[in-house]
Amino acid sequence: MALPRSPSERVQVLAACTGRLSARMEHQWLTDGPASEHTRALRDHLAEVLDLILPGTEIDTRHAFALRVQAKQAYAALLRRATFGTDPRERRTALRVAVRLEQECRGLLLGQG
């Protein structure tokens, strides 16, 4: 996934991805503890980039944080459905969507994906 050209759109993408990686990290605490450290490092890197570009946009820090929290909650719900759902078809669909979204976020960082 390439970052959008607009600084405000970049903030939205980075905030969403930072939130998603936060949800992934917390999910990994339950399912794959050692992997959570790698995810935390990726999340922290995206958060640093977000903090660097935020001042050049019309989006304030509180709004960016709200975007992160919303994305985290939505992604956590998706991961719960993918892992603990009772309908096998719904679990597969949730997993497919979760993987795609996370790959897009990891693709923002060189060498990740």
13-56 pLDDT per residue, tens: 999 999 999 999 999 999 888 999 999 999 999 999 999 999 98
Among the listed residues 67, 66, 91, 69, the one whose alpha carbon sits nearest the alpha carbon of residue 78: 91
28 in the Ramachandran plot: left (φ > 0), alpha (ψ -120 to 50) or beta?
Answer: alpha
Residue 5's pLDDT band, with cuts at 50, 70 and 90, is confident
pLDDT digits (tens, 9 = 90+) for 58-103: 899 999 999 999 999 999 999 999 999 999 999 999 999 999 999 9
Q: Is residue 72 part of a domain?
A: yes
pLDDT of residue 24: 97
Distance of CA 102 to the CA centre of its chain: 6
pTM of the predicted model, to two decimals?
Answer: 0.90
Q: Is residue 39 part of a domain?
A: yes
Report the alpha-carbon angle 52-5-21, nearest 5. Answer: 55
Residues 78 and 98: beta-carbon distance below 8 Å = yes
Average pLDDT over residues 105-112: 75
Give the C-alpha separation, 82 to 5, whole Å: 33
Q: Is residue 112 part of a domain?
A: no
Q: Is residue 66 part of a domain?
A: yes
Helix axes 7-31, 33-53, angle to 10 degrees: 160
Number of domains in the chain: 1
Q: Is residue 100 part of a domain?
A: yes
Q: Is residue 113 part of a domain?
A: no
Q: Is residue 82 part of a domain?
A: yes
Q: Is residue 111 part of a domain?
A: no
Domain extent at residue 39 = 7-106
